[in-house]
Amino acid sequence: MNKKKIINNTEIFVKKKLLGEGSGHDWWHIKRVWDLAKSIAKDEKVDLFTVELGALLHDIADWKFTDGDESVGPNLAEEWLISQGVEKNTVRTVKEAIEDISFKGAGVTRKNRSKEGEVIQDADRLDAIGAMGIARCFAYGGHKGREIYNPEIKYVMHQTSEEYKNNSGPSVNHFYEKLFLLKDLMNTKTAKKIAVGRHKFMKEYLDEFFAEWEGKK
């Protein structure tokens, strides 16, 4: 099994499918998560090959774009990896990591089944916060036709996956419903350190946002 060739093939496969996507779940999101995952993996006792494959394939068919069906992405990733001759244990771990990766609501908890999954999830969540997270939040909101902000619509701490999936509130509400929660949900020491600065930046951004909203600046 030529691991380098499989990684290269997977990069080409994912890039071809997601390049130019406009909701913030595009190839460049994948590339950032891939790079972050490799960086985090250096400090963790994990299988780098598995981490790289999981990072590359984690959004190959996100449930947000499959009518809420969470099985499409993991199954597509599994099919691809089998076609590349990847061994069964690695295929299973990557598939499980993709199944476990998503945030599903403030009241929903689900643990990763592998250390590799924890690394991939941390990398994905880091790209959802900070300056990049802010950009992606509004890109996705615009993609879904959501208001930027509406003070008459309060944020909701969703207690079930279905509540979270069916949410259609303004983009700013998403900071409270998900983004501000991610700092304390990181798995690895490396990600926890990075998350502190990105979390702080989001707080400062919203302070400025609300000051301008109220005409104070």
- Residue 11 confidence class, pLDDT cut points 50, 70, 90: very high
pLDDT higher than 90, residue 64: no
Domains present along the chain, CATH in parentheses: 3-213 (1.10.3210.50)
**pLDDT tens, position by position, 119-170:** 999 999 999 999 999 999 999 999 999 999 999 999 999 988 888 888 889 9
- How confident is the model at residue 127, as a pLDDT? 98
| 54, two tokens | 């999981």
Which comes out higher in pLDDT, residue 205 or 166? 205
- Residue 110 confidence class, pLDDT cut points 50, 70, 90: confident
What is the percent of the chain with per-residue pLDDT over 70, rounded to a whole number? 96
**b/e map of 116-153 (b: 16 or more CB within 10 Å)?**
bbbbbbbbbbbbbbbebbbebbbbbbeeeebeebeeee
Mean pLDDT (whole number) for 8-31: 94
pTM for the model: 0.94
pLDDT higher than 70, residue 74: yes
- How confident is the model at residue 71, as a pLDDT? 86
Q: 75 vs 1, 48, 50, 97, CA distance in Å?
A: 21, 21, 16, 12
- How confident is the model at residue 22, as a pLDDT? 85
